[in-house]
Chains A and B, each alone.
Chain A
Amino acid sequence: MTYIRPQFRHPALPKNDLGYTSKEYEGALSTLCAGCGHDSISGSIIQACYELSIAPHRIAKLSGIGCSSKTPTYFLGNSHGFNSVHGRMPSVATGANMANRDLVYLGVSGDGDTASIGMGQFVHAIRRNLNMLYIVMNNGCYGLTKGQDSATADEGSKSKAGSVNPFQPIDLAGLALELGATFVAQSFSGDKEQLVPLIKEGLSHNGFAFINVISPCVTFNNNPGSTKSYDYVREHLEASPAPDFVPTKKEIKTRYASGTGTDIRMHDGTSIRLEKMAHDRNPYSRLEAMNALQNSRNKNEILTGLLFVQPVSDDLHQTIQSSDKPLNSLGKDVLCPGSSTLATINADLR
């Protein structure tokens, strides 16, 4: 399989304040399944960074392991990227951020990467209010290992192997709110109109910004009650081993006004209900956000939009009072106390 992205771009492609077109923000061609929600999110990231006129090389994109963590290859090709180990992106991002406070840090993770193996690092990045945007591409399953339930899978949903998930899901947005994240949003991969502004806000936020993006897995999202899910079909094809089938589908897209709900039909025929937060809701109240999120969950709805923001807070650098200059820019003249100081230290040790 060879993917060749055409180099041609329309000569009249608009440029941002830095004189870059959106092309300078693109990455390699995606190798994810056609129709994957993650690719839509990559598109939104490209658009957000382009519109914000961030110099591509001033962004560091980091990820863990999984389908979602592959995406940094597919956006911001002129940015340095770091595909680390499973669930450990937050620690790598923390170290990177400590080394250079002047770059923009974009972390991309998945529900397995964040809500299971990486839970410890995720919560501690929030606790430290690390200055970064942390996006979870949340599809409720482990795509790369063929669809096992993740910790965000809904109770009662069926895995590809047919087992019913008996555990309640971890609500990452609720958790982030509870832990004191200073920016919490939730969105849907197909809702660019909402997602692009949220990414722009998250990138511009000083402190830890979290966006939980529901991103359907076209290959493995099988919910109970769906008569058109791949699992359902396979259950009715007895004695015939089901081959892995990756359908080519169009992305699910939606547009709707804020304050109104909309049902999104998933690839397998089920639907999820998204509720946009109304403009009159107070985004500065953590308590209201937690209540609203809980109310939506009780109604089996997913509340989207900016749930909470605390515009002014101390990030990790401010908390530990580290230098205003990036630490990686300091030379030996600043860092090394020199031989005369060492002589004094020696004298004190005699």
Chain B
Amino acid sequence: MPNSKINNFVVRFANVNGTGSASANHLFAKAIFRMGIPVTPKNIFPSNIQGLPTWYEVRVSEKGYQGRREGIDLMVCVNPQSMPKDVMSVASGGYFIYDSTKTLHPELIREDINYIGVPLMEICLREFTDPRQRQLFKNIIYVGALAALLNIEFQVLEQLLSEQFKGKEKLIVPNVKSLKLGMDYIKENYTCPLEMRLERRDLIGDKILIDGNAACGLGAVYGGATVVAWYPITPSTSVVEAFESYAEELRIDPETGKKNFAIVQAEDELAAMGMVIGANWNGARSFTATSGPGLSLMQEFLGLAYFAEIPSVLIDVQRSGPSTGMPTRTQQSDIILAAYASHGDTKQVLLFPSDPKDCFDMTAESFDIAELLQTPVIMLTDLDLGMNDHMSEPFEWDDTKPYNRGKVLNAQQLEDMPRFGRYLDVDGDGIPYRTIPGTHPTKGSFFTRGTSRDEYAAYTEDGAVYARNMDRLTKKWNTAKNIVPAPFFYQEKNTSTNGLIFFGTSTNSAEEAMDLMLEKNELVDAMRLKAFPFPKSVDDFINSHEKIFVIEQNRDGQMRTLLINELGINPQKLISILNYDGMPITAHAIVAGINNNLSVAKTLTYQ
């Protein structure tokens, strides 16, 4: 049994928003990653630019668990505003590091935790003259202190700083100086390292550390997106920012210096979606990124794209709703809205990434799926995945695989065919052939419309023709079940009468929960959903178990509702394990939820 205090703890930083703490905290997390130790950092930030409390939580896990864990073992508090709460949040036996320039109020003293004071302000006032530097380097000094307390290798920190300030070497010296100031203070005044500390490992392999939004942006570059339309909204903004920065580097025409992409910041989310539809209609791969309120606004256009059969890609980085909700907290609560987006009978293809590699792969693939099916594809990621760094398998790309543009007719094909019918089901799979404007002088043009139309795209109010078209869309929907990514099964054969269903960012904690249960010899089967519509294997998994726990991060059990509605499952069979306080779900909450249900069930049986 390894020492449970080595490489196994949670550190939380309590900062003031807008004081430059983010890069110092990132330096801390990245250094642990570089030491070969699995690490998961999470930002817990306010909807504010400057002044409000913000936290940064880093879980270190020898076992590689990346889900959030309750219980803070070490708190670095540099925010007097949140200090009373921060003191209370430290686990018994944990550590509280604070700026000891001022003495702590007696009310903040707990008997069961350890206090480590570092006079951050005093050191800064002594060592730096510029007010901005005094603020910024305070953060680096506490990273230095942590390096001494937790055994972070100094050369790793130095290396990271030299990478960060490449081209601005002047900045390296004061940063390194600050690190040393913090380290030296600890070494002179405290016994270090602590029992709870880091030890170099080789547990990372070739994994990378990146946030989901950046992975989406990069995936869109690789997937061939050329037109991006968007409207700023937390937490999706950095998807487009990432696309732009990668494209500025990778998509410049070498001869003209011009951009092989176009980004339009729209006047609102409606316009953003309209632009995406217009661009895809005209043969470019185009996407937008938004969050819940934007998805609400895009409903009408999503119905048009569904009904007129125009490929489009939408990345929804979910946050806590309803309405403005908690805009800087995570949730998986747009599922129903996305699945049936728009009025009338509509169904939309959904993708559920669970880590940055998924974000990259699924974004790139979403353009193929959208064009194959000629319909919108909505990727449902969330704030936790999108805005926090996650350890991920490295990105891969198969250079031999072409973009699959689906059924698009060229001029010669139009020339050779007797009559083009935009909405004719030629192949029997419900997917018609389309043409791109400007292809042929006299053939292949048609009128795209949101009104009912016949197989040749001519307006009709004939009910039978309308119903025939709606039925073809259902057929296409059934075809989609075999085109979207299949679920992942954690077992080859069923081992239990109980099964877990989860998706997206619940995955990390669900996997950890399965381990915790296994330690107690409680076996469960599990399936990770990757897409909607649900392939038959989803139905089979549910049917082959007596009880299914559906783990999700919303109040109403939206995925459970979708499963019941789409597959005709007996609602009694699907039990919700929910978390909706805006913080990522934990493994302990999942285990508790399952055990609670199972023990209640046992009690009922014994009666």
Contacts and interface: CB of A to CB of B under 8 A. Distances in A.
A332 B229 CA distance: 21
Contact of B281 (A57, A96, A322, A341): A96
A339 interface: yes
Given A77-B445, A83-B449, A83-B450, A332 B402 contact: yes
Contact of B271 (A57, A79, A124, A331): A124
Contact of A57 (B251, B274, B301, B440): B440
Given A95-B276, A339-B398, A100 B445 contact: no
A91 interface: yes
Contacts of A99: 226-227, 278-284, 286
Nearest to B364: A336
A233 interface: no
A323 B259 CA distance: 5
Given A84-B274, A120-B271, A342-B397, A335 B224 contact: yes
Contact of A94 (B204, B275, B448): B275
B274 A121 contact: yes
B438 interface: yes
A223 B282 CA distance: 42
B399 A339 contact: yes
Interface in A314-341: 316-317, 320-324, 327-328, 330-332, 334-339, 341
A316 B262 CA distance: 10
A103 to B, nearest CB: 5
Interface in A104-126: 120-121, 124
Nearest to A61: B447
Contacts, number: 227
Most chain B CB neighbours (cut-off 10 Å) among A82, A128, A337, A346: A82
Contacts of A62: 278
B113 interface: no
Interface in B412-467: 435-442, 445-451, 459
A335 B226 contact: yes
A98 B265 CA distance: 13
B227 A98 contact: yes
Measured as residues with beta carbon below 8 angstroms from the partner, the interface class of chain A is 35 or more
Contacts of B261: 322-323, 327
Contact of B441 (A57, A97, A324): A57
Given A95-B279, A120-B267, A350-B208, A103 B437 contact: yes
Nearest to A58: B438
Contact of B301 (A72, A85, A342): A85
B222 A336 contact: yes
Nearest to B222: A336
B398 A328 contact: no
Nearest to B249: A337
B209 interface: yes
B408 to A, nearest CB: 11
A263 B396 CA distance: 71
Interface string A74-97: 000111111111001011111111
A55 interface: yes
Interface in B508-537: none
B437 A57 contact: yes
A78 B435 CA distance: 13
Contacts of A323: 253, 256, 258-261
B439 A349 contact: no
B284 A98 contact: yes
A83 to B, nearest CB: 4
B436 to A, nearest CB: 7
Contacts of B222: 336-337, 342
B439 A57 contact: yes
A84 B302 CA distance: 11
A53 B441 CA distance: 13
B303 to A, nearest CB: 8
B448 A82 contact: yes
Contacts of B398: 339
B304 interface: yes
A345 interface: yes
Interface in B279-307: 279-284, 286, 300-301, 304
Contact of A79 (B251, B263, B445): B445
A80 to B, nearest CB: 4
B395 interface: yes
A332 B224 contact: yes
A162 B34 CA distance: 77
Given A323-B260, A334-B260, A85 B440 contact: no
B286 A81 contact: no
A337 to B, nearest CB: 4
B258 A322 contact: yes
Nearest to B282: A99
Contacts of B278: 62, 82, 84, 91-99
B250 interface: yes
B271 A121 contact: yes
A48 B439 CA distance: 22
A223 to B, nearest CB: 32
Contacts of A316: 264
Contacts of A317: 262
A342 B396 contact: yes
Nearest to B227: A98
A100 B258 contact: no
B393 to A, nearest CB: 10
Interface of A: 24, 55-58, 60, 62, 72-73, 77-85, 88, 90-100, 102-103, 120-121, 124, 128, 316-317, 320-324, 327-328, 330-332, 334-339, 341-342, 345-346, 349-350
Given A91-B274, A338-B397, 11 more contacts: A81-B445, A84-B278, A91-B229, A94-B275, A94-B278, A99-B284, A322-B259, A332-B402, A335-B221, A335-B226, A350-B204
Interface of B: 34, 204, 206-210, 218, 221-222, 224, 226-227, 229, 250-251, 253, 256-264, 266-268, 270-284, 286, 300-301, 304, 394-399, 402-403, 435-442, 445-451, 459
9 contacts: A57-B438, A80-B437, A81-B445, A84-B450, A90-B271, A99-B281, A103-B282, A327-B226, A335-B251
Shortest Cβ-Cβ A-B pairs, 6 listed: A95-B278, A91-B274, A99-B284, A95-B275, A80-B437, A95-B279
